[in-house]
Amino acid sequence: MSREFEMTDMGLMSYYLGREVKQMENGIFVSQESYTKEVLKKFNMLDCNPVNTPMEGGLKLSKFDEGEKVDPTVFKSLVGSLRYLTNTRPDILYAVGVVCRFMEAPTSTHLKAAKIILRYWKGTIDFGLFYFPSNNFKLVGFCDSDFAGDVDDRKSTTRFMFFMGDYVFTWSSKKQAIVKLSTCEAEYVAATSCTCHAIWLRRSLKELHLVQKESTKIYVDNRSGQELAKNPVFHERSKHIDTRYHFIRECIAKKEVELIHVKTQDQVADIFTKPLKFEDFQRLRARLGVQKNFPIKGGC
């Protein structure tokens, strides 16, 4: 059974800026189902055929695509709607980040990719994030990057997420400022960005009296990047990297963060770096906590 929050001092929190918050018997479910329906209706996609993933496997999009030009105003409106839905649907973060790159001169190919995300929405319209009660306030991060993932400028993208216990509560995807020369370097820079966010979260949690007594574990799937962060002796490999990225070494020395190697198949942030096969996508989506409404007690 579900019910809307009955908090007169907070107003209609059940539908705040398109986000629906439902109090369940065993937790809280956060979604944007009504907003999703509005977007599908706006772009005439209410009757579209759903798909299993938000992006076709192996798809590579370029701003030099020779497809037919489309109305950039319509495309920007669509992409803006897609971006807003990432507030409760981190599973579409990668696909949305890709189509965001083409708002200046979109083509029919780019529009098709954006509509694939809408078709994925149609099949998962009642999905959202479910949070069960928990006494586990331990902060844990997952970090990854897609080396030279942008086929046009060859820049990599940093992607990370943080869990509080078993549940994801913050996530990010941002293109790196400069072109990196190796997977090791791209992963190292991504881990540094993730570390900066971890330090900010640790300080914020301390103000809420949720002190992180142990170092915050950040899981990475690249051993060379992990070793580079731990060992400053790798001078030849790191001397050209901007000094601000070496902040991570100081944080490791202070035991504020700790980089832990994780197998690629267990790297949850992998869902933010590339299109995945449905089986892998479904597995990592469940790890994020994205699931259907009215889940069974106990989680996924």
Give me the CATH topology for the region 135-278: Nucleotidyltransferase; domain 5 (3.30.420)
pLDDT of residue 54: 95
pLDDT of residue 9: 42
206-264: pLDDT as tens digits: 999 999 999 999 999 988 888 888 776 555 555 556 666 678 888 998 999 999 999 98
Question: Is the Cα dihedral 148, 149, 154, 160 positive or negative?
Answer: negative
Residues 6+ apart with CB under 8 A from 98: 55, 61, 113
The kind and range of the H/E element at 281 are helix 278-288
Full-prediction pTM beyond 0.75? yes
pLDDT of residue 62: 92
pLDDT of residue 4: 47
Cα distances (angstroms) measured from residue 243 to each of 93, 193, 223: 29, 13, 21
pLDDT of residue 239: 58
User: DSSP letters of 165-228?
Assistant: TTEEEEEEEEE-SS--SSHHHHHHHHHHHHHHHHHHHHHHHHHTT----SPEEEEES-HHHHHH
pLDDT of residue 12: 43
User: Which residues partner with 261 through β-bridges?
Assistant: 220
Pairing of strands 257-261, 216-220: parallel
Q: Which residues of 18-42 are buried (b: 16+ CB within 10 A; e: fewer)?
A: bbbbbbbeebebebbbebbeebbee
CATH 3.30.420.10 range(s) for the chain read 135-278
pLDDT of residue 249: 86
User: Which residues partner with 158 through β-bridges?
Assistant: 145, 174
**What type of residue is 62?**
S
Q: Are 61 and 101 in contact (CB under 8 A)?
A: yes
Whole-number Å distance between alpha carbons of 130 and 293: 8
Whole-number Å distance between alpha carbons of 111 and 43: 11
- Give residue 148's region: left, alpha or beta (phi > 0; psi -120 to 50): left
In this structure, what DSSP letter does residue 233 have? T
Pairing of strands 216-220, 139-146: parallel
Q: Which two tokens stand for residue 251?
A: 């944080």
- Residue ranges for the chain with pLDDT beneath 50: 1-15, 295-300
- Around 271, how many Cα atoms within 13 Å sit in the side-chain half-sphere? 26
Pairing of strands 27-31, 127-131: antiparallel
Hey, which bits of the chain come out as E strands? 2-4, 20-24, 27-31, 127-131, 139-146, 157-164, 167-175, 216-220, 257-261, 290-292
